[in-house]
Structure 1
Amino acid sequence: MLLKHRLYVVYTISFLDLFAIGLMFPLLYPHVRDLGGSHLTVGILGSSYSAVQVLTGPLIGSWSDIRGRRFVLLNTLFICAICYLLLGLTSSIYLIFVLRMILGFIKHTQTICKALIADLLPMEKQAAAYGQSSGYGMLGFVIGPVLGGHISEMNNGFFYVCCFTSMLFVGNILLTLFIPHIPTKHDNASNNITVISLLSTMHKEFLRALRELMKINWKIYWDTFLMRFMFGVSVSIVHTSQSVYLKETYNLSQVYIGYTISFLSIVGVICGLSMGKITAMFYKDDHNCLRRIYHSFCAMAACCFGFYFAPNIYIYYTVLIPFSISSTILRIVTMELMISKSKDDEKGSLSGASNSVMSIARFITPLSSGIVGDIFGENAVMLSAFVPPLCGSFLCLYCTRKSRV
């Protein structure tokens, strides 16, 4: 029973973390635009945050291996609470940039939650726990944008949202106190840990991971990784540009922007839960996954055209449904295709490499979108999202023809 309670503490931390992110997600970029920032400024802000997240993930992971999950979680959550409070107090774009870099460096709550689950449960029970943790987190991301949109409509609404977000991190600090310290192999030497030893551990882990990746025959997987990259770029363009696009094109308030983002998440969750039935009904003989991927890429490309030509917000919402469905199918099925090709001892490395590919897509997209937005306007940014899925559909046709030869 004690173990079950600890797991629910981890699930609650995951929920509150993505709830906090959901509160801020639709507000930050429009806020920067209101302060006088250009599309390029918004793009640099998004790209630099993603880059720092990718680079510091292994560092925070190594730190938690050495000092323990509880210690690292308490410290990182405290810094996050301070940063979000300061984010609401400042009107300087430069200070916002600095605070976002700090948050990008230390905010890896979801990663530490997954590590906690691995510490608490045996291997055979971890998959179900990861699924539950992800489900609670997605629920937070559905609720967050709606509530954040309503609060932001008040006078000094952005400040109140930042304060509320900071309070959520304080709540997670209190919850973390209920998680016991799990001993690590470094406990006896914890007082002698230095930055050099931490970086040395990170360096060894990096080299070990690199050796594992070098063993994989990447000629087999290049097409799947390219498909995931194209899908990641298109989805990232829509997600990072959507708040500014809806505000500038349809004059939508933050409340309705929040509802839009939550609606997109709900459709994605429903589609994910229905994937088994969708496959059984329409794709029984699609054993190599290519037909599902091809149809999804075509639908996504058509939806991106639909976003650009939508005459009103109601048509935009209608197009949003197949876009969310196709992006969810691509996220699941491209991973299924990769795993189906892999050997048992390659699955972990492939999963990690796949996450890196998606991170690269999230890194380059905000910057490129900012440049396109400043030169051609925000409408052109949404239109540019159709190019990657169009290329992805041609790649699927090539792979299908190649498999028949």
Structure 2
Amino acid sequence: MALAMAAAYNPLPKCREADMNPITGSRRKAALAFIFVTAVLDILTMGIIIPVLPPLIEEFTGSNAGAGWINGVFVALWAAAQFVCSPIVGSMSDRYGRRPVILLSCAGLAADYVLMALAPNLWWLALGRIVAGVTSSSFTTVFAYMADITPPEGRARAYGLIGAAFSGGFVLGPVLGGFLGEISPRAPFWFAAGLAGVAFLYGLLVLPESLPPEKRMAFSWKRANPFGALQLLRSHHELFGLASVNFLLHFAHHVFSAVFVLYAGQRYGWGPWEVGLVLALVGALDMAVQGLLVGPAVKGFGDRAVMVFGLFGGALGVACMGLAPNGWWFAAAMVPNALWGLSMPTLQSLMTRLVSESEQGQLQGANMSVASIAGVASPLFFGAVYAATVQPVDFAPFPGLAFLIAAATLFLGGLLGWMVARRAAEAEARAEPAFPPP
């Protein structure tokens, strides 16, 4: 669905297209097609190994309990690698251009999956997960590429379509990985390597550069290290507020990666088949929201209002999941939860308007670092909360407590987003610069 929409999608008005960027006509269509295909393949390759990575770890450890602990460590290694490398990758794309960074990432991802397919022990597998965290930092450059070729008023829709492409890969990946895993635990890794290799060759032939040399910024380790990159988010009051919303959004989202499978099995008796169906439903709803609703919603109500509405809608859906008395109610709560998909593309769009063209890569690197911090802390937190509810202890007697905390986190993000949006709107109404640098 996302790819078909991408083929017909042109976010730039024709009268402004040549003024905004030299990528026009057929070259522009080829570039857009590559970005969306790459988005699908990146998530598809990650999703393919979900069903087989824990069993492969268990094969090495010889223990189910040990495999669970090691798998958690691998998740943390992947997130930590993203935290360190995302700002570096983003700053490199600001200096050397988007094209070489994206192509090197695709090639590195292909080599990484070959490494994991051949891994003789856990140490090699751990190295593979670290390299995967580094190469997946190319997400920052994909978003920066779209910012280069899309005017501010079209970015929310563009990011929504990228999100829809991600969701499409998320739906297909685990299903395909499970099928290939029946052949061999290592077959999905070889298939993922092949897909990443195809993406590299495809991009080598069709992807033009989006950042002209005169708009590039000199590389600096001061900006490229994760803590230096985060300084950019403090350069503008509205940008800092939106970055805080970004952290809360990602923190709440990891309740699913941390406890969903365990919670669904413990409370509703769901097995892999039921869990797979629900994940497919999540992906399909997210594709519909980000691919079909973001553009019209932003056109009618504006980025800020749609972002806030999406956060509150997501909070309602996650709260309903925590309170659901049975599996049918839990699945039904996926519908309001899908409104969450309105918040990410609009949040990204608002943030790209607050930095210069030469800082788009650095901004996306800083955003990925924020998401990575949440990716390390949130699973540990929600895992501990879930463990407390299973035992249970006096302060955590309710089994759905982790989801209720996630809902409260999203609600807080909605309140913060509303406050930031209101201040920005008031400043714009006075025709003043919104939130001058502190």
TM-score (structure 1 length as normaliser)? 0.70
The match for 1:44 is 73
3-state SS of 2:205 partner = coil
Query: In structure 2, which of residues 224, 233, 236 is the aligned counterpart of residue 216 of structure 1?
Result: 236
Whole-Å separation in 2 of the counterparts to 1:165 and 1:76: 14
Pick closer, same or farther for the CA change 1:162–1:241 going to 2, 3 Å: farther
Say whether 1:235 aligns with 2:253: yes
The match for 1:82 is 111
Q: CA deviation at 1:99?
A: 1.2
3-state SS of 2:271 partner = coil
- Counterpart of 1:21, as a letter, is M
Say whether 1:362 aligns with 2:381: no
CA contact (8 A) 1:88 1:163 kept: yes
**Which has the higher mean CA deviation after the structures are superposed, 101-110 or 388-397?**
388-397
The match for 1:271 is 289
Pick closer, same or farther for the CA change 1:378–1:274 going to 2, 3 Å: farther
- Counterpart of 1:175, as a letter, is Y
CA contact (8 A) 1:298 1:390 kept: no
Structure 2 segments unaligned to the other structure (5+ residues): 1-24, 393-397, 423-438
Q: CA deviation at 1:382?
A: 5.9
Within-5 A mapping of 1:5-404: 5-25=30-50, 27-29=52-54, 32=57, 36=64, 37=66, 39-90=68-119, 92-117=121-146, 121=149, 123=151, 127=155, 130-152=159-181, 154-156=182-184, 158-179=185-206, 182=209, 185=213, 201-204=220-223, 212-217=232-237, 228-243=246-261, 245-246=263-264, 250=269, 252-253=271-272, 256-272=274-290, 273-274=292-293, 293-294=311-312, 296-306=314-324, 309-310=325-326, 313-325=327-339, 327-329=340-342, 331=344, 335=347, 339=350, 345=354, 356-372=369-385, 383-390=401-408, 393=411
Whole-Å separation in 1 of the counterparts to 2:376 and 2:126: 15
Whole-Å separation in 2 of the counterparts to 1:400 and 1:107: 31
Whole-Å separation in 1 of the counterparts to 2:46 and 2:260: 16
CA contact (8 A) 2:164 2:286 kept: no
Whole-Å separation in 2 of the counterparts to 1:241 and 1:289: 26
Q: CA deviation at 1:393?
A: 4.3
CA contact (8 A) 2:259 2:386 kept: no
Q: CA deviation at 1:386?
A: 1.6
CA displacement 1:119-151 (0-9 Å, x = unmatched): 6x4757973655544443432333222222333
CA contact (8 A) 2:167 2:286 kept: no
The match for 1:193 is none
TM-score (structure 2 length as normaliser)? 0.66
Structure 1 segments unaligned to the other structure (5+ residues): 187-197
Aligned CA RMSD, in angstroms, stands at: 4.7
CA displacement 1:18-72 (0-9 Å, x = unmatched): 2222323455356546753354433332223112112201212333455554444
